[in-house]
Amino acid sequence: MNTVFDFTVKDRKNKEVPLKNYKGMVLLIVNTATQCGFTPQYTELEKLYEKYHNQEFTILDFPCNQFGQQAPGTNDEIHEFCKLNYNTEFPRFKKIDVNGPKQIELYKYLKEHKGFEGFDPEHKTTPILEEILSKADPNYKNSPDIKWNFTKFLVDRNGLVVKRFEPTEKMENIEAEIQKLL
């Protein structure tokens, strides 16, 4: 696979969606959860979507229950939660694994192209995440695996992975990088 657009994923109804449908668009691909401390980021993500979707930008939301079991429920329940609580309009896909033997190929590709570079040292949650992760794996910083919910990958119009943002990244920094690609 050469670009993100070479992959096919499943929507929340289990229907195959070729990512080539998004060819020519700037994408922000996010693994999400509905019961996480970062869940309020849905508000900021929706604002980005509303502000830039007319400029060929979209967010692809992949719920994931691998981090603290913080995305319980069915695909439809997760979708309803996001619509009701955050009024999200961007595409939401089937709940997936982003790490391990059941990870989808798209996430394997994303991680191969942009590994973990660390959390924002100024974010209040960074010490908590570092403690949790280092207890589970003292060498977690050396792995490209997704570390937590709301990790984001920025993809350019050619389907190339440009940036990876950890959940502690300031949304204004993410927006600035999106603007460079639009």
Residue type at 41 in one-letter notation: Q
Contacts of 66 (CB under 8 A, 6+ apart): 97, 98, 99, 100, 146
Other Cβ atoms less than 10 A from the Cβ of 22: the count is 20
CA distance linking residue 114 with residue 42, whole number of Å: 23
Catalytic residues: 36
How far is the CA of 62 from the CAs of 105, 131, 134, 143, 150, in angstroms?
A: 13, 25, 25, 21, 9
Give the C-alpha separation, 5 to 157, whole Å: 10
